[in-house]
Amino acid sequence: TVNELSIQFLVEPEDVIVSKNSQFTWNCNASGINHIAIEWRKKGNLDTFTDDAERRVFVTRTGALRFNKVRVDKDPGIYYCLAKDSYGSIRSKFAELQVSRMSKKFDVIPSGNVTLYRGGQLHLSCKIKAIPLAQIWWLRNKKNLSESEDKRIIVDYLTGDLLIKNMKLRDSGRYRCVALHQGRKKFSPDVSVAVHKIDKTAMPTILYSPGNVTAFVNDYLVLTVAANMPVYVQWSFSNVGGHKNQPPINYIPIPLDGHSQHFIRNIRTDHDGIWTCTVIAIHNHKSIRCPPTYLKVISPPRIACYMRHFTFKLGMPGLIKIINLTSIVRPVGGILNYECKVFGQPKPKILWLHNGNPIRYNYQSSRHQLSRQATSSDSSSNEVYSFGMNQIEGKDKGYYQIGASNEAGSSYSMPFMLTVEEYPVPSPPRNLRSISVTAYEVTLAWDASKSNLNPEIYYTIDFWAIDDPALIYSETTSRLQESITINKDLKPWREYTFVIKAWNYRAASQPSNKLTVKTAEDVPTASPRTVKLMLVSASFVVKWERVDPLYENGKIMSYIISCTEMKTGKKNIYRAPSYSKDYKIADVLPNSIYLVQIAAATAVGVGPFSRPQRIKTNSEYIHNKFASLDMQILYINASTIIFTWEIGNRSKQYLIGYQLDYRPYGISKNKKTLRLSSKALNYSLVGLQSSTEYDISISGIYKTANESGYGPSADRIISTTLGNVSISAPNKITNLHTNVIGSKSLIITWQKPKVADTITLTRYLLSYRSVSWNKNSNLTMINIEKEANDIKINNLTPYTSYEICVSYFVYSKYSGELSSKPTTSILVRTRQDIPESPPIVDVVEELSPGVVSITWNAPKLANGIITMYEIKYKSQSDLDWKTERTKKNNITLKDITPKQFFELTLAAATTVGIGPSSTITIILNVTDASAVNPNLTYPIPTVNSETVTGKNIFQESLRTVGIICAGICGAILLAIAVLYIIRSRHHAIPQMKEVPAESNMVASEKQIGVTKPSSKNYQRQKSSAKGITILQSSDCRNIAKETQCKEGKRTNRKGTKTALKCKGIRVSDINITIHQNNLSS
């Protein structure tokens, strides 16, 4: 029931400006059926004003607010009044009280010296805070500038800006502005302006261009540009719809006559957008672009509230009427729903008031719900809000208002009165259930309550999709029906919630129990989205995004890919699993054209195929040789996309150019193709539509000795932004720190970067590798979660330098994922540790009887700086080890007793500790105590293992074969030896016979004086440093089968050296035997 409103305002407070210490009265008046009382409140202050006339601020008997003495520190602010009667209260609009004053300093003043050419435009700004606005005028050389005397002079008295067109030489001088406020004057500092004759080679310079501007709807705006010389000014406009260079209806084009002001009359919301200008010099046509100007158009909010009223007559369909809200009657336990259309730009904030006080809504278990409905209009200045109240109680009676506010102002709707009556309401239906369910139809049934046996009762069924609860559908039936089939507005494979209410002629019952029903499956009604084809080697990959969930119509079981070769018409069908988003087709012919389509399939069947896409395979040679480019986005705004790419060094020598293709996504007819130079590494796409997705593809064009063609393309789908939003590639992290916590571990920390509101940080990427003077290792990369700002790296190599850098990735709905540049690489070295491998024995040299020199190489895995070598040795009969330490890589042992086994261990040490040791055994065998002892050097083969134990190194040296011949003819042998010494430095060495059997081998060993060791292998190596041959043996039984040996004799100035040479034997266990033989005359 709708009645007349019982209370309404006659006079509401308005914005005022008053003087300090003055008296002021603010009026507020309302009329109504009952007695009206007026209350005043200040926003942000809970205290109310009383009617005590002794106070400085009080409420008069007529409801006016009286200020006896206005104070600057307490009284300015936002006020409103409440009109109350016995039923409730309503709130007036907001009004602001300001105290007149002027700032002590100028906010904006001209500074520096200005130089320009004759014919240019001078623009000077002067601003000072004042309430009300101060009067501004300008002086030149202490004389007033008058617009009436010189039409070239324009002074904007609202902003205080000075514009002088077509400057002349006589306009040079000193300028200053004067601010006048309530009899007080303030003078700005002087600025020097010099005007010169024009330089025809000079580039134009923009002295002033409008920045961001805010204007009200239906207002008047002037865009001014000032340059240092005579110029043309050309303007272009891009609104929120993205229509470049298509100005609104009221756009007035600027003629090319040198004017620098652009007028916009009767501003509308579609003027909101980016305005850009180009300044062109008249004398040489050189041009420069102005910075973009964002015009923000605002309008104060307006509110219109109404209610959809349902009328029903038995036997006739129900009707819905829209009525304005004034007074509404509802029963206890009933519901109230109404709507308000809110206008304003930017989108206003909504306030729901009950008796002048805000209502808390949309919280859990709240009886008050507010939701925004979707509108058919594209304009954001038109929003429709739904207000609902359930289970009405007696305390809900009173006056209701809707308030809206934005930066342009605030407004309140006309109040309406809710009257709550207590009379019975229907009880809700019971046992709501589904009888049958198909893909597009649901049949429901319910049990009527006994109290509902009234011929005037009917039922409404409300239902909505669970994934879109804001969109509610309704069906209506009579009391005689206790079931209904709903076959409208249902979609397959979606969950719906159903509730039913019973109505009488006054109110509705509470909703019944909620019933959730999922419709049956059907074939998909749409194809997969964003289908893309990419060449990979000698094949191509099909990529796609899943079908829009609203059109899947069931659980996707698989994807069907149709691939048709154009020349032969052969068609192949491939099936990809439901979880995949790409599929590689390998069985294709090179240099052929294929048509590819893809469809989704449910258990019911296959849906429609996507639009055919064409791809041409390159030759097999081109595919195998070149890789796709690496595309990176640098900058995005409403009309521009800037990107760069990288190409491998191996591919550059064959590159002859690039091919760039771009088009609005999904519109193939608008595809544009560009040919770029091979030297290009980035490109800017300009003049694009705002808030539009673009499909961008770039590929290299290569030419080799055999053929030419296109390499694989790099593809991205990028969206331009809306309005003045811009996206840039993120800056790199600058504060990277490392902390070495051990020989194998590092902790890297960094400060989280600040990212813009339009992008989201997704992850970090840590890259590191070891660095040495002769080589660098492979790069290791680790993905790190976005919440972290440090990481610990383990399993590093001790005492090794590492190069470390960190980058991060951000995500934007326009550009997808973007990577920052890596940080500047830092070098850090891990700490030292004990060596992981022993020193490698190189050479053993006998200096004199019992004195042996040992030389070795540093460990391969030193893990630091070797500070010391530790040598321990003992004979077979000794119980304790003897220890020697040295910083060099050699040592001389003086107490090696012949005919004894000496076990020797060798280990290296760093500042941390001693590492593992290698072990060798030395034996000195003496056959004649009176023998002459020459200096012998015996090299030790390199040991590759980290620790060598149980090794017997056997070496047999034959010094002379004269012993065999001495008993037969000593004198003849001596003469022959003398002749050999005189005539020749070396003698031929007779071939040693091969011993086939084990018994003969033993006899041969006795003849040449070889001590038999216990090892299993037999080997020799040559020392590269000394040129001495070494015998290494493990099992001399097999020596005749594995190698051939030669017996030789060599003589030099120092003595005779004899050796047994062996070839091709692998080292396993190493034993060294040093044997002293006799030299008889």
- Written as six digits, the tokens of 837 are 């491998």
Select from 858, 1028, 1022 the least CA-distant residue to 941.
1022
Residue 599: predicted pLDDT: 96
Strands 349-354 and 357-358: antiparallel
> At residue 271, what are phi and psi to the nearest 5 degrees?
-80, -10
With 0-12 / 13-18 / 19 or more C-beta atoms within 10 angstroms meaning exposed / middle / buried, residue 134 is buried
User: What Å distances lie between residue 146 and 140, 150, 153, 886, CA to CA?
Assistant: 10, 6, 7, 99
DSSP bridge partners of 802: 770, 828
In whole angstroms, what separates CA 253 from the centre of its chain?
42
pTM of the model: 0.41
With 0-12 / 13-18 / 19 or more C-beta atoms within 10 angstroms meaning exposed / middle / buried, residue 822 is middle
- Written as six digits, the tokens of 903 are 């076990």
Residue 1050: predicted pLDDT: 34
Please report which helix (H) or strand (E) contains residue 1039, including its range. helix 1039-1042
Please report which helix (H) or strand (E) contains residue 765, including its range. strand 760-771
Integer Cα distance of 571 and 799 in angstroms: 62
Integer Cα distance of 693 and 688 in angstroms: 10
Cβ atoms within 10 Å of 796's Cβ, excluding its own: 19
Whether the Cβ atoms of residue 385 and residue 373 lie closer than 8 Å to each other: yes
Please report which helix (H) or strand (E) contains residue 1032, including its range. strand 1032-1033
Phi-psi map region of 493: left, alpha, beta (phi>0 left; psi -120 to 50 alpha): left
Asked if the peptide bond before residue 822 counts as cis, ω within 30 degrees of 0, the response is: no
> At residue 808, what are phi and psi to the nearest 5 degrees?
-140, 160
Integer Cα distance of 386 and 563 in angstroms: 51
Residue 255: predicted pLDDT: 39
- Written as six digits, the tokens of 32 are 């109504």
- Written as six digits, the tokens of 1061 are 């040479």
Cβ atoms within 10 Å of 656's Cβ, excluding its own: 11
Q: Is residue 650 helix, strand or coil?
A: helix
Q: Is residue 244 helix, strand or coil?
A: coil
Integer Cα distance of 211 and 220 in angstroms: 17
- The tally of CA atoms less than 13 A away on the side-chain side of residue 181 is 18
Whether the Cβ atoms of residue 208 and residue 223 lie closer than 8 Å to each other: no
pLDDT digits (tens, 9 = 90+) for 999-1049: 333 333 333 333 333 333 333 333 333 332 233 333 333 333 333 333 333
Select from 474, 471, 469 the least CA-distant residue to 508.
474
Please report which helix (H) or strand (E) contains residue 551, including its range. helix 549-552
Task: Please report where in the chains the tokens 């890259």 appear, as a residue.
Answer: 767
Whether the Cβ atoms of residue 871 and residue 904 lie closer than 8 Å to each other: yes
DSSP bridge partners of 363: none
Residue 365: predicted pLDDT: 62
Residue 310: predicted pLDDT: 57
Select from 272, 298, 96, 120 the least CA-distant residue to 194.
120
- Please name the residue ranges forming H helices in 919-1026: 962-983, 998-1008
Task: Please report where in the chains the tokens 């383990």 appear, as a residue.
Answer: 794
DSSP bridge partners of 672: 662
Residue 528: predicted pLDDT: 93
Cβ atoms within 10 Å of 953's Cβ, excluding its own: 25
Residue 984: predicted pLDDT: 58
CA atoms 237, 241, 243, 244: torsion sign: positive
Residues of the chain with pLDDT under 50: 1-3, 241-258, 312, 314-316, 376-379, 927-961, 985-1081
Contacts of 907 (CB under 8 A, 6+ apart): 835, 838, 839, 869, 870, 914, 915, 916, 917, 918
Integer Cα distance of 853 and 875 in angstroms: 17
The 8 Å CB, 24+ separation contacts for 965-973 are 966/1080
Please report which helix (H) or strand (E) contains residue 624, including its range. helix 620-625
CA atoms 39, 45, 50, 52: torsion sign: negative
User: b vs e for 1028-1054, b when ≥16 Cβ sit within 10 Å of the residue's Cβ?
Assistant: bbbbbbbebeebbeebebebbbebeee
Integer Cα distance of 402 and 423 in angstroms: 28
Residue 468: predicted pLDDT: 82
Integer Cα distance of 1065 and 1069 in angstroms: 12
Greatest extent of the chain over all pairs of C-alpha atoms, in Å: 160
CA atoms 1012, 1015, 1018, 1023: torsion sign: negative
DSSP bridge partners of 468: 465
Whether the Cβ atoms of residue 189 and residue 270 lie closer than 8 Å to each other: no
Amino acid at 76: P
CA atoms 430, 431, 436, 441: torsion sign: positive
Please report which helix (H) or strand (E) contains residue 838, including its range. none
Strand order from edge to edge, sheet including 593-601: 571-577, 558-565, 593-601, 613-616
Residue 1051: predicted pLDDT: 32
